[in-house]
Amino acid sequence: MKKKINLIANKEDKNLRIDVFINKRLGEISRTRIKNLIKDKKLKLNKNILISPSKKISSGDVIDFILSEPKKASLKPFKYKLDIIYEDEDLIVLNKPAGIVMHPGAGNPTNTIVNALISYDKNSLSNIGDELRPGIVHRIDKNTSGLVVIAKNNISHEHLSNQFSKHTIVRVYQLLVWGKLRPSRGKIETFITRSSRNRQMMEVSHNKGKKAITNYKTLKTFETKDTPTLSLIECKLETGRTHQIRVHMNYLGNSIVGDDKYKKRFKKIKNINPSLEKNLTNLNRQFLHAKTIGFVHPKKNTKMIFHSNLPNELEIILKMLRNAGK
């Protein structure tokens, strides 16, 4: 079923971004969905096809678009045991392990979290986003572990997407980095854009891209005669840009242990504990874990917060570091 939408901007709407304006008028439509309509050339401003969601509107501007019923995804189910922390009729909070991607894409057509969700319950996922991403409101990287929230219906998807857009979602990560962070706590505030050297990577920019804000604090620094200098860090995100924490840590000169994309060259470590060296060398993921997620429930309107322990392969390394020198 299609629904024709016609909106006229008032004086108080002047200079609002068009995606902000539509979201303000029609709260059930997320800015992500609006951006997808613009990307697909399905939204008109004063009878002209709009190409940018950041376009500012003026009083009297007319916005037209047709809201279509979302497509049903045709995805192969993937038999995979999901670690579900919480579930109700509106959402799922799951603990994603490292080594599996969130949704199908180039090089990962089937064995993803989305395919596992299809196998788990194909009829209880939102379908207003990309048809290859039913239920997916946000993502974490393949080799990052931790908590993600999945939308089971379109109302929940819109509500959660709006919380992400407004940066009201609580997201806390734990990570292990090389060296010491100086200062030991602070706020990193930059722009992040796609790398000009490698289009699969991101980089810090001072004048282009999207604003990215990461709050960090050092929980513990490990520095003994038989260990390299490493620091356990907690990061709280204000924004959620692609590879944000990885890029920001690398920008500070303290790349994440196990991160093969964003890494600095370090001197060869001498006299390191052999067991610790083996675990660090064989770590086939970055030491980055989405420990906490918090949001307002889309229907109950209550605050919810969830926590996840570090997975075993990361906890083993921490235990070795804590015991070093004893």
The answer to whether 293 touches 306, Cβ cutoff 8 Å, is yes
DSSP state of 278: H
Joined tokens for residue 173: 């990560």
> Which residues are registered as beta bridge partners of 203?
193
Q: Rg of the chain over CA atoms, in angstroms?
A: 22
Give the Cα separation of 76 and 108 in Å (integer): 12
Active-site entry in 13, 19, 61, 141: 141
Q: Does the active-site annotation cover 121?
A: no
* Phi (first) and psi of residue 295, to 5 degrees: -160, 170
Give the number of other CB atoms < 10 A from CB of residue 164.
19
Closest by Cα among 208, 98, 198 to 148 = 98
Q: 8 by DSSP, 3-state: which? A: strand
Instruction: Using alpha carbons only, give the angle 309, 313, 315 rounded to the nearest 5 degrees.
Output: 50
Burial 31-67 (b: 16+ CB within 10 A, else e): bbbbbbbbeeeebebeeeebeebeeebeeebebebeb
SS3 (DSSP) at 164: helix
User: Which positions are annotated as active-site residues?
Assistant: 141
